[in-house]
Amino acid sequence: MRLLVVEDEPRISEIIKAALERAEFAVDTVRLRADAREALANTAYDAAILDLGLPDGDGLNLLAELRPAGSRIPILILTARDAVEDRVLGLDAGADDYLVKPFAMSELVARTKALLRRPGAALGTTLKAGNIVFDTIGRDVSVAGVPLQLPRREAAILEHLLRRQGRVVPKSVLEEKLYGIDDELESNAVPVHVHHLRRKLQDAAASAEIHTVRGVGYLLAETKG
Amino acid sequence: MSFGQFRSLQVRLAVRLAVLYVAAAAIAVGVLVYQVYDTAGSLNDRELGLRAEDLARALVADGTGQPRLDLPAKLAAAYAAAPEDDLFAIRDTNGRVIAASPDEFGERVAKWPPATDEPSYFRLSGAGSEDFGSETYYGLSVALQTAAGPMWISVARTEGSDALIRSILREFVVNAIWVSPLLMLATLAIGIFAIRNGLKPVREVSRMAASIGPDATSVRLPEQDLPTEIMPLVASINHALDRLEKGFAVQREFTANAAHELRTPLAIINSALETMDGNSELEKLRTDVARMNRLVEQLLRVARLDSVALEFGTVDLNKVASLAVAAMAPWAIAQGKAIAFAGTEWPVNVKANVHALEDALRNLIENAVAHAPAGTEVTVTVDRAGRIDVADRGRGVPRKDRENIFKRFWRGAGEKKEGAGLGLAIVSEIMRAHRGSVSVAENPGGGAVFTLSFPPLQTGDSKIARRYIAGDAA
Ligand SMILES: Nc1ncnc2c1ncn2[C@@H]1O[C@H](COP(=O)(O)OP(=O)(O)OP(=O)(O)O)[C@@H](O)[C@H]1O
Ligand SMILES: [Mg+2]
């Protein structure tokens, strides 16, 4: 899996590269916007990490060129300006996610993996959290290598929580997912399915668990060891 | 404040104008009255002069050359009708009385000095005498040429005979006195109105000047429609504002630069520390850097709030609060705490800046999660009246600290290392900018509740809320 890092600060660039390489990505780094444009044109990267403040111009402009030109490469922007407006601008211009400096390298790696798990992105076939593995093609679930049988609706919920792991998935979003399977949805269908799913994961000694954020939704996170 | 000063200036001007007007009116009335009396007096003099001439024409010389008064019948009747009101006496140049009515008057006149060609006026008191009663007379003596030679003629009439004129005059004066307070009130009213109207642009300018502050430096005072006296003042205030705004812009730029400059090295240190394999010293170093990070973050937030103007829009508190809970949930859960959101069924709209509001909520949630015991739940609740509560089950905030916690750099004794002591100061700044407030209370059952309160909802919203309640009851 090949990533492009566009960052002008050599030390940061170096550290990002080291962290991503430890996570077994292949990483190219460039300093300038112009170099980034060229690299993206010549190589099929799976994702790009883009700093907004570059010596030859704003990273936002690069985004604004890429998206209308039809590129769907997942992009994570980095910014030192935490003015929230900047983040919003970045997302509006077509970025998939953002991180505000200073950030933890573990966070950067986790976000990058999440980007690649998005539908249509490179990591689309297997989803992992702790010892849970979900094959999106065969739709098989295993915990610690042992296959786990799940009803369709519970599998759908688990898939979505895995795709957005570490983030809260609103209950309404899960309800929408279930509508596709089941036209007559009980008002408490989602909590009931989540309850069963949680029990099954616990019984299988999964190292990730589903947390409830009451009034908002659910979140799947690896259990702290 | 400034309004009160204007009002006093207005009143002062109006009162002075009114006093001026009343003084002018008094002088005008005085002059008028004097003139009228004067005119009345000279009318009287002319009348007397005419009478003297009538008498002179009626004087003839008889056969012996002796002068004799031959009054036409009408005139004779007139004098006879009121002998005690209209008097006359005719003397020859030797002072001998030729004719008089009544005789008593003749006797008096006989003792008088000779008359001259120029009429001389006299006032005569009849007090005590039989014929004249207590009347006062006014008259003239003049030497006139007659058919019987030069004669001295004196005529007089009672002073009261110009009573009509005098009563008309008196009425005029009384009217003038009676009307003048009304006139005075009218001028005061017109004066105040005119002055208020004239000072309107000034008031407008002062109202605008009051809105100028660190969050609104782009305001300039309007220079049109201003009295020329105030124009230079306003113009130089505007120039001062230009310079001030530039100063603020420099300050803002400095803040942004500082952010960039401080964050990059911090990010480098941070990630370098992360990749190192450590002993306990490294662990301590990481904590120190985390603390420094926090301090820089919070300091920059304060700087930004101090210098950047907030833009406001209509915001649903449910939306912002649930997003904030969703954003903070992974962190809270990683700390071993639960977090929950409870909203209202209908939107609770307020005027707010979403990003500032997010900042405020994040700070409250951070505090609540930091103080909540493991395994307990932090709850964020939106209330229909425009409030957000952030409640935890921690140790709460002692009553004596409740004022202090909102001060910059104030931290409770025995707090863990990472805090900067700026979180709640930022929250209260943000709420001040929203004309709302933040307060702390005890959570029933233990812990602290922090409440963000926004100004009352717009009428539209409360109407919807009311309809909702009504529908509920039905
Ligand atoms: N939920 C709470 N329960 C108990 N005490 C609290 C709570 N929230 C704040 N406090 C007290 O108020 C103090 C000030 O809080 P504030 O958020 O301003 O600073 P901080 O959290 O120490 O630092 P930071 O600027 O990093 O947020 C805290 O140090 C703590 O003693
Ligand atoms: Mg705090």
B438 CB near ligand 1 (under 6 Å): no
When pLDDT is averaged across residues B409-415 and rounded to a whole number, the result is 86
Report percent pLDDT > 70 for chain B. Answer: 88
Full-model pTM: 0.62
Task: Say yes or no: B187 contacts chain A, CB-CB below 8 A.
Answer: no
The answer on B184 and B117 residing in a single domain is yes
Confidence band, pLDDT 50/70/90 cuts, at residue B332: very high
From the list A61, A65, A63, the residue with the least C-alpha distance to A76 is A63
- SS3 call for A69: coil
Residue B304 has phi, psi (to 5 degrees) of -65, -45
Using the beta-carbon criterion (under 8 Å), do B338 and A211 form an inter-chain contact? yes
Predicted pLDDT at B130? 58
Two tokens at B126?
Answer: 């009849």
When pLDDT is averaged across residues B131-147 and rounded to a whole number, the result is 81
Q: With beta carbons under 8 A apart, name residues in chain A contacting B379.
A: 214
Give strand pairing partners of A222. A208
Residue B403 has phi, psi (to 5 degrees) of -80, -35
Ligand 1 atom closest to Cα of residue B392:
1
**Sequence-separated (6 or more) residues with CB below 8 Å from residue B259:** A80, A81, A82, B300
pLDDT at B338 over 70: yes
Nearest protein Cα to ligand 1, atom 27: B423
Residue B205 lies in a domain: no
Domain count, chain B: 3
B402 CB near ligand 1 (under 6 Å): no
Residue B154 lies in a domain: yes
Q: Report the complex ipTM.
A: 0.78
Distance from the Cα of A53 to chain B's closest Cα (Å) equals: 9
Two tokens at B400?
Answer: 């004596």
In terms of average pLDDT, the best of B39-48, B135-144, B247-256 is B135-144
From the list B453, B463, B323, the residue with the least C-alpha distance to B388 is B453
Q: With beta carbons under 8 A apart, name residues in chain B contacting A84.
A: 354-355, 358
Predicted pLDDT at A225? 67
Output the CA B377–ligand 2 centroid distance in Å: 18
The answer on B89 and B33 residing in a single domain is yes
What whole-number distance in Å separates Cα of residue B210 and Cα of residue A97? 43
Output the CA B379–ligand 2 centroid distance in Å: 17
Q: With beta carbons under 8 A apart, name residues in chain B contacting A102.
A: 263, 266-267, 270-271, 293
Task: Say yes or no: A55 contacts chain B, CB-CB below 8 A.
Answer: no
What whole-number distance in Å separates Cα of residue A45 and Cα of residue A1? 8
pLDDT at B128 over 60: no
DSSP code of B37? Answer: H
Q: Which ligand is nearest to the CA of B402?
A: 1
Residue B161 lies in a domain: yes
- List C-alpha distances in Å: B18 to B12, B191, B193, B391, B418: 10, 8, 13, 65, 71
What whole-number distance in Å separates Cα of residue B145 and Cα of residue B388? 116
The answer on B342 and B239 residing in a single domain is no
pLDDT at B469 over 70: no
The answer on B293 and B415 residing in a single domain is no
Residue B221 lies in a domain: yes
The answer on B348 and B273 residing in a single domain is no
Task: Say yes or no: A223 contacts chain B, CB-CB below 8 A.
Answer: no
Using the beta-carbon criterion (under 8 Å), do A12 and B271 form an inter-chain contact? yes
Confidence band, pLDDT 50/70/90 cuts, at residue B20: confident
Confidence band, pLDDT 50/70/90 cuts, at residue B314: very high
The CATH number that applies at residue B421 is 3.30.565.10
Domain span holding position B283: 210-307
The answer on B43 and B182 residing in a single domain is yes
Predicted pLDDT at A113? 87
Burial (CB count <10 Å: 0-12, 13-18, 19+), residue A186: exposed
Nearest protein Cα to ligand 1, atom 31: B412
Question: Which residues of chain A are modeled with pLDDT < 50?
Answer: none
pLDDT at B129 over 70: no
Predicted pLDDT at B335? 92
Predicted pLDDT at B471? 36
From the list B281, B265, B430, the residue with the least C-alpha distance to B359 is B430
Sequence letter at residue B257: N
Of A18, A101, A216, which has the smallest distance from its Cβ to B326's Cβ? Answer: A216
The answer on B91 and B169 residing in a single domain is yes
Residue B48 lies in a domain: yes
Cα of first residue to Cα of last residue in chain A, in angstroms, is: 28
Residue B163 lies in a domain: yes
Q: Which ligand is nearest to the CA of B415?
A: 1
- SS3 call for A43: coil
The answer on B184 and B89 residing in a single domain is yes
pLDDT at B455 over 50: yes
Predicted pLDDT at B446? 94
Predicted pLDDT at B416? 74
Looking up tokens 């900042």 gives B359
Residue B307 has phi, psi (to 5 degrees) of -115, -15
B403 CB near ligand 1 (under 6 Å): no
- How does strand B149-158 pair with strand A168-170? unpaired
DSSP string, B60-71: EE-TTS-EEE--
The answer on B329 and B405 residing in a single domain is yes
Give the pLDDT confidence of B241-273 residue by residue, as tens digits: 888 888 877 876 787 677 667 877 887 888 788
What whole-number distance in Å separates Cα of residue A54 and Cα of residue A56? 6
When pLDDT is averaged across residues B16-27 and rounded to a whole number, the result is 80
When pLDDT is averaged across residues B433-445 and rounded to a whole number, the result is 94
B307, B323, B343 - which closes a domain = B307
Mean pLDDT of chain B: 82
Q: Which domains does chain A have, with CATH numbers?
A: 2-116 (3.40.50.2300), 126-222 (1.10.10.10)
Give the pLDDT confidence of B74-103 residue by residue, as tens digits: 888 888 887 778 889 999 888 888 888 888
The answer on B319 and B268 residing in a single domain is no
Predicted pLDDT at B329? 95
Residue B188 lies in a domain: yes
What whole-number distance in Å separates Cα of residue A73 and Cα of residue A54? 20
Output the CA B358–ligand 2 centroid distance in Å: 14
Using the beta-carbon criterion (under 8 Å), do A106 and B322 form an inter-chain contact? no
B198, B232, B260 - which closes a domain = B198
Give the pLDDT confidence of B351-384 residue by residue, as tens digits: 998 888 998 999 999 999 999 999 999 999 999 9
3-state helix, strand, coil in chain A (%, to 5): 40, 25, 35
Give the pLDDT confidence of B268-291 residue by residue, as tens digits: 888 788 778 778 888 888 888 888
B291 CB near ligand 1 (under 6 Å): no
User: Could you tell me if A220 and A161 are in contact, meaning their C-beta atoms sit under 8 angstroms apart?
Assistant: yes
User: Could you tell me if B428 and B406 are in contact, meaning their C-beta atoms sit under 8 angstroms apart?
Assistant: yes
Predicted pLDDT at B183? 78
Burial (CB count <10 Å: 0-12, 13-18, 19+), residue B7: middle
The answer on B152 and B20 residing in a single domain is yes
What whole-number distance in Å separates Cα of residue B51 and Cα of residue A106? 131
User: Could you tell me if B277 and B283 are in contact, meaning their C-beta atoms sit under 8 angstroms apart?
Assistant: no
Of B263, B342, B355, which has the smallest distance from its Cβ to A101's Cβ? Answer: B263
B447 CB near ligand 1 (under 6 Å): no
The CATH number that applies at residue B300 is 1.10.287.130
What whole-number distance in Å separates Cα of residue B159 and Cα of residue B126? 11
What whole-number distance in Å separates Cα of residue B118 and Cα of residue B139? 14
Give the pLDDT confidence of B149-208 residue by residue, as tens digits: 889 999 988 876 666 666 777 787 788 778 877 877 887 788 788 888 877 877 788 888
Predicted pLDDT at B302? 76
What whole-number distance in Å separates Cα of residue B252 and Cα of residue B306? 9
Q: With beta carbons under 8 A apart, name residues in chain B contacting A11.
A: 268
The answer on B228 and B192 residing in a single domain is no
Q: With beta carbons under 8 A apart, name residues in chain A contacting B322.
A: 215-216
Looking up tokens 């089941």 gives A182
What whole-number distance in Å separates Cα of residue B318 and Cα of residue B349? 9
